[in-house]
Structure 1
């Protein structure tokens, strides 16, 4: 009884306040004075706006040059419509069913307040709230604000919604105050339409348009009388009366029929219309349920992982400032939704990529945890055009027990898809190559690719002070011995690249990698704590998209452009908000270094497994880790760069064991061919000569006559290679250097092999028996003294007569002692 008295007193106070505010003649339901009533009421909040409600966000991709929708994302399935887009039957059903005096009161129906007070007195609690449509709209706006704000430090979303629906006099009074102010700001039609757009119709379905689509496969504009009444019948009790489940049909029909009766009483419909509508059953013959498809699980079959990536970009990318600051503001705006998001994905190319990946690396493979991914991005723009993997997208718990399914995007960093990345193998070697070129070395310089045991302390790293640890020994998969850097790149010779790194600062190698955008999938920069990082065998697990951006930097002449996906954003109000900004910056390599790198990698790529051989100039690099646990192919034209990975999702099962070691080529080739067919490509730039030859080194002078050991020290000190070429006849002392190839004083590339010939002492220089024109006898004596035995004379018409005027071979010529020598003797005639 006490509760009834309080209820009577509370609503009596409300009635008195409202009567006072509305300047109704002196009516005292309580002892409250008019001035007190006005003061209490005026102190309540009075500002509220209808505002934008949560809607569907749509995601688009390109297909055949046209924008096509690939996904719908929403927290609330709502599509806001205008006044002319709603059937008059729905408007009439709402006013007749929920607020018959809607067009008469000023936001609060005083008659209903008094009647509610009497009803609550008899019940002992708050059972009737006398809510008008305007008051219900106010309550729904508060509830929607809870959805938009989400959980906060102050309160959870659930607590917020509970407070907005609390059955209390304070809430009722607030709703009344705001309803009155709303009626002053908005027209009746605006309020009615706002209610139709905001009301809940069961589950995640909100608004009359989404309800019409979900339950009747029609639009709000085309609702029949029976359909309109059934939908309005849901709003009081969405859980019990929505049409998603047949169990609710009887309750819905009962409420529908009540609304239809009121519409007839209010003369909104004729008797004939009433009879037809009331005879329409609410059952499977009239209800056509279309369950709303929200989220990436229901996206286009070829764009589910892309949808997931785009959602994460929208949430996390700071450059999308038009969506608000990353964090609470961004999250709220995205929950509100209503955006149209246009993306760079090319569905035609994506279809080729996904079909190829899933065909060549089947997700049904059970002998090993086989994964595969391929992603392509435009050079110079950063636009991602394909993103495919071999798994079927599934973000439900069912994926945990189904090896064919996953929600992890193998192409991206952890924050953008959940992947931890993969070891890159020899696709990291270009970092050393580029550092080599940047240091002024050339592609024709020669290094020793022989397998050797090397001390880690021999490597320089000015970033972290150097290395320690056990000696490092790594085998070559192909090639050995001395070779040019160009050939070392073509054959991917491990030890040749290690020799290159020994002549560089490892810090410079990691700096180049970082400047190309390379980082671990967890966001860390390149880990250069061990020398093996430069062969992609260290602690860096990298995403394919990251590697694509790195190689695209080389193709872009050394300018890095971050990958991007969002080509256009349209706000819920239809405003063009722009695109994901182009973010480019110079890297540590210039255009000439990039050109030389492309020159080498063009020869490493052409004619090999992934090359589509379609005439498009391309460069690239393969990579594999120990026992082919992870395998890669990088391929790029001047237009598009593609990264392809095939390997272990987890663990270290050799892909060779099950025939997948070369699958990367089978995946990459048709994808590259399809891309080249669309984009083509320009000729790759030519490198400058200085980066072909590198730092020119002169073969040392003074080598002739040195011992082989002394000559070797002099040659190697000049950063050249020494090689014995055997003995030759020479006038140099036996056992000393007789000749070099190239000769002393010649300019060559660093590392060039100098072939050294050793004298056998079998030659003597022809003495000078011409100077002074000695007699033939004196000349013969001098030659014999030098060991020559085959000496003859020949007549030469020349003065002085009877004197030696020439010798053949000429003086100073090294010849063997049995070489025929001819003395030319001057005569007046012959």
Structure 2
């Protein structure tokens, strides 16, 4: 008869194998314990290459940092009234003091993670011995491996120093003797520098709880809409159970696994005496707690994060996006904002923003294919030009099919021009250089071929789009916008001076920050020159007709500069920034400068005052809105009607609107209700007075309701 192995022999083989594995782990744990002791007692273990004086210095530095750790915190963005409009963070954390954490929460985390927490001094030698003994019996080695103090060190290195990156986490948790020695040494030093309660509180403020929540303050709110001092036993047990594997044990991912883990914590709490010394009573309480529902709020109370999700994201997001870019240029980069716990008070006016949004969307629905309608509002001033609103018919977001855009349409340089608004720069340069005055007649022929500008081998020829008298005052020309008169003025003032005037009055990024395609200039200059320099190099007579890329916000700031008596200031979205300690943060903002003499600016303002009156290109829009205030204004339309614009200001508010084709294949925009795309070229396209100007007036009419009447400044006779 043949011999075969029975089931009992197979099991015996498995047991033998397990014991062999356990023996290996036992030896390994004993060796690790011995080396840890040696490393803790002797800073220099040169022969093993495990530690050095230099490493000891690093340990000392790290333990020092851990005693006064600055944790990554949420930065809050406020509107001009102090109301939150956005939150920016890498880690949602609400730091809490020890007295703000319930004893129940502390008991739960100690019971499941480190029941001898109050007995050891950073490294649990009994726990290691117990783990070694268990490894020798059944191959396990899960108990006593890491104390809460060591876990604090590990989480600090992974999520504070390492910013939660995958590499940092792997480095902080790698299975190596060197790391364990370093971790143990730091832990023992911490126990000498911090009380047990301080370590426990620090740990509960650092550790992740899943769903981008870090620390018990954020976790209590996110999962239970409460504060850590009010956590019940089942709630505290669930949170304590999460820290083991936040993703797998997340109640949103697997409720059964979360309840099972919670009940394990409750049982450990009972064993640790958290429910009293009476065994029967303790067991009854534990069973009662285990029977409780999971209790997590249906929609987790997670703090919205970023420009899309926070506040009224679809409306406020454009301002938020500009704010981030502005702060980066001013020396406060986004990665610092996401961790720094700053409070950023902005200049954003929620009323102005909503009115601009409504006006833009009423003219062009947000889901209208291929047409964007954007508005910027700036408050004039001598010391600051505060951005009050950045809005568009589009919502801010990532879903293009739903009429959303994730770049700041009103603030960034668009690839389309503002048309005849650029004639303002020609007029300003002509006034400054004494070429003309606002009441002097300028030549306005029907057709004009320039002897200065070239179109290939021929002279540059320009025609007027309508019937005009042969001569007009500069004020009338600004209101009615004949092309020929401004090409002639540009010749007399000098193209380079006119381009420079556009920069000086406010088109700074548009002129020097992008190329003629509207693309930001690369640091190496490989896609240059800038738009302004290109016009100068080409001696391009078309500059005054405004075909090149333009920023809506910069247009608004141009009008703010004019009504601020020629004082240019950067369009700022920031009122003040304070750090986590309430200390002001100094930003590197560009100082204001006197772009043109006040007399020139005031004359220009008066020269631009007729566009909104009957006969002006914006007269019909102003009349329809019931507008009767003195103001400056100028419309613009590009040659193929792919973009139109309006720029205007009073002493209270300056603003600009651009309506442009924002699709992948731009087409002309034709007037209608709503406006629509109508082919690559169309002589019946929309004009600035038809869409852009009504948007401006409908928003500004509301914003000026409580403002007193205000006249434009007087004009120095030299510029008449």
TM over 0.5: yes
Where does 1:736-747 land on structure 2 (aligned, <5 Å)? none
* Aligned equivalent of 1:134: 149
Corresponding residue number in structure 2 for 1:260: 266
Aligned-pair CA distance for 1:192 = 0.5
Corresponding residue for 1:58?
76
The yes-or-no answer on 1:645 pairing with 2:655 is no
Aligned-residue offset at 1:81: 1.2
The Cα of 1:224 is off from its aligned counterpart by 0.6
Cα deviation for residue 561 of structure 1 reads 0.4
The C-alpha deviation readout for 1:394-431, integer Å capped at 9, x for no partner, is 22xxx24x0522213211126xxxxx342110111010
Partner of 1:76: 91
C-alpha distance in 2 between matches for 1:497 and 1:9: 91
Residue 5 of structure 2 corresponds to which residue in structure 1? none
Classify 1:127/1:351 alpha carbon distance in 2 versus 1 (closer, same or farther; 3 Å): same
> Are positions 1:622 and 2:635 aligned together?
yes
What residue in structure 1 maps to residue 503 of structure 2? 514
Residues 40-86 of structure 1 deviation map (CA, whole Å, 9 limit, x = unaligned) = 58754423223122222222113xxx321122222222211111221
Counterpart Cα distance in 2 of 1:332 and 1:665: 39
What is the match of residue 385 of structure 2?
382
Residues 417-470 of structure 1, C-alpha deviations (whole Å, 9 max, x = no match): xxx342110111010001110111222332221122414x524xxxxxx88543
Please state whether the residue corresponding to 2:247 is helix, strand or coil: helix
1:87 aligned partner: 102
Matched, 1:97 2:112: yes
- The answer to whether the Cα contact below 8 Å between 2:270 and 2:286 also exists between their aligned partners in 1 is no
Displacement, 1:19?
A: 4.6
Distance 1:596 1:110, change over 3 A: same
Q: Which residue of 1 aligns with 2:410?
A: 411
> Contact 2:367/2:402 (CA < 8 Å) preserved in 1?
yes
Name the CA distance, whole Å, in 1 between partners of 2:116 and 2:235: 23
Q: 1:303 aligns with which of 301, 316, 319?
A: 316
Q: 1:40 to 1:427 in 2, by over 3 A?
A: closer
2:462 is the alignment partner of 1:474: yes
Q: C-alpha separation between the residues in 2 aligned to 1:578 and 1:681?
A: 37
Q: Identify the residue that residue 288 of structure 2 maps to in structure 1.
A: 279
Given the alignment of the two structures, is residue 558 of structure 1 paired with residue 566 of structure 2, yes or no?
Answer: yes
CA distance in 2, matches of 1:613, 1:163: 67
**Which of the two has higher C-alpha Rg?**
1
Alignment partners' CA distance in 2, 1:258 and 1:297: 39
Conserved 8 A contact 2:39-2:51: no
Q: Report the Cα offset of residue 272 of structure 1.
A: 4.9
Instruction: Give the 3-state SS of the residue equivalent to 2:571 in structure 1.
Output: coil
The residue that corresponds to 1:462 in the other structure is none
Equivalent in 523, 536, 543 of residue 545 of structure 2: 536
Does residue 16 of structure 1 match 2:34? Answer: yes
Instruction: Show the 5 A alignment for 1:114-125.
Output: 114-120=129-135
Shift of 1:534: 3.0
Instruction: Return the offset for 1:268.
Output: 2.4
Question: Over residues 296-349 of structure 1, what are the superposed CA-to-partner deviations in whole Å (9 max), with x where a residue is unaligned?
Answer: 2222333122222223333x22x2x4x4xxxxxx35423324222221111112
CA distance in 2, matches of 1:582, 1:116: 63
Superposed counterparts of 1:680-695, under 5 Å: 680=708, 682-692=710-720
Matched with 1:445 is 440
Give 1:228's match in structure 2, choosing from 230, 236, 245: 236
Q: Counterpart of 2:305? A: 294
Residues 282 and 236 of structure 1, relative CA distance in 2, 3 Å threshold: farther
> Is residue 424 of structure 1 aligned with residue 398 of structure 2?
no
Q: Matched residue of 1:373: which SS?
A: strand
8 Å CA contact retained: 2:23, 2:135:
no
Q: Deviations over 1:373-410 (max 9, x none)?
A: 11101112221101110112222xxx24x052221321
Q: Name the structure 2 match of 1:595.
A: 602
Tell me the SS of whatever aligns to 1:241: coil
- Contact 1:638-1:681 within 8 A present in 2 as well: no
Task: Note if contact 2:419-2:546 (Cα within 8 Å) is conserved in structure 1.
Answer: yes
* Distance across 1 between alignment mates of 2:574 and 2:371: 31
Mapped to 1, the partners of 2:556 and 2:602 lie a distance apart of 17
**Aligned runs of 1:101-112 on 2, under 5 Å?**
101-112=116-127
Give the Cα–Cα distance (whole angstroms) in 2 for the partners of residues 494 and 554 of structure 1: 22
Distance 2:224 2:286 in 1: 15
Distance (whole Å) between structure 2 residues aligned to residue 268 and residue 120 of structure 1: 28
Q: Deviations over 1:775-794 (max 9, x none)?
A: xxxxxxxxxxxxxxxxxxxx
Offset of residue 138 of structure 1 = 0.6
Q: What is the alpha-carbon distance in structure 1 between the residues aligned to residue 621 and residue 388 of structure 2? A: 19
Q: Partner of 1:643: helix, strand, or coil?
A: strand
Q: Which runs of 5+ in 1 are unaligned?
A: 25-31, 151-156, 324-329, 415-419, 460-465, 693-830
Post-superposition shift, 1:554? 1.3
Distance 1:448 1:38 in 2: 88
- Whether 1:503 and 2:506 are equivalent positions in the alignment is no
Q: Per-residue deviation at 1:227?
A: 0.6
- Kept in 1, the 8 Å contact 2:375–2:656? The answer is yes
Q: For the structure 1 residues 615 and 344, does the alpha-carbon distance in structure 2 shift closer, same or farther, using more than 3 Å as the test?
A: same
Alpha-carbon spacing, 1:576–1:222, altered in 2? closer, same or farther (3 Å): farther
Query: Residue in 1 aligned with 2:341?
Result: 338
SS at match of 2:251: coil
Secondary structure at 1:267 match in 2 = coil
Between Structure 1 and Structure 2, the one with more helix by share is 2
> In structure 2, the residue corresponding to 1:604 is in which secondary structure?
coil
Per-residue CA shift, 1:105-138, capped at 9, x if unaligned? 1111111122334445667797556100000011
Distance 1:101 1:194 in 2: 18
1:703 counterpart residue number: none
* Deviation by residue 1:146-188 (Cα, 9 ceiling, x = unmatched): 643x8xxxxxx42232121112222111110111111122221
Return closer, same or farther for 1:370/1:332 CA change in 2, 3 Å cut-off.
closer
| TM-score of the pair, normalised by structure 1 | 0.72
Separation of aligned partners in 2, 1:450 and 1:123: 101
1:229 and 1:654, CA in 2 relative to 1: closer, same or farther beyond 3 A? Answer: closer
Contact 1:102 1:132 in 2 (8 A): yes
Structure-2 change in CA distance of 1:601 and 1:182 (3 Å): same
Alignment of 1:135-214 (within 5 A): 135-145=150-160, 147-148=162-163, 157-214=165-222
CA distance in 2, matches of 1:616, 1:121: 91
Mapped partners of 2:588, 2:181: distance in 1 = 46
Segments of 5+ residues of structure 2 without an aligned counterpart are: 1-16, 511-517, 521-529, 676-685
Report the more deviating stretch, 286-295 or 174-183. 286-295
CA distance in 2, matches of 1:189, 1:468: 81
CA distance in 2, matches of 1:511, 1:300: 40
| Cα separation, partners in 2 of 1:272 and 1:544, compared to 1, 3 Å | farther
C-alpha distance in structure 1 between counterparts of 2:87 and 2:551, whole Å: 27
Number of aligned residue pairs: 643
Deviation for aligned residue 1:580: 7.4
Map of 1:762-773 to 2, 5 A cutoff? none
SS at match of 2:204: helix
In the TM superposition, residue 237 of structure 1 has moved relative to its aligned partner by 1.3
Contact 1:413 1:421 in 2 (8 A): no
Q: Distance in 2 between matches of 1:614 and 1:274?
A: 78
Structure 1 match to 2:365: 362
Q: Secondary structure at the match of 1:513?
A: helix
Q: Secondary structure at the match of 1:423?
A: coil
Q: Using the TM superposition, give the Cα deviation of residue 228 of structure 1 relative to its aligned residue in structure 2, in angstroms.
A: 0.5
- SS of alignment partner, residue 572 of structure 2: coil
- Cα distance, 1:601 vs structure 2: 0.2
Identify if the C-alpha distance between structure 1 residues 562 and 191 changes in structure 2 by more than 3 Å, giving closer, same or farther: same
SS of the residue 2:174 aligns to: coil
| Alignment TM-score, normalising by the size of structure 2 | 0.82
User: 1:609, 1:669 within 8 Å by CA — same for their partners in 2?
Assistant: no
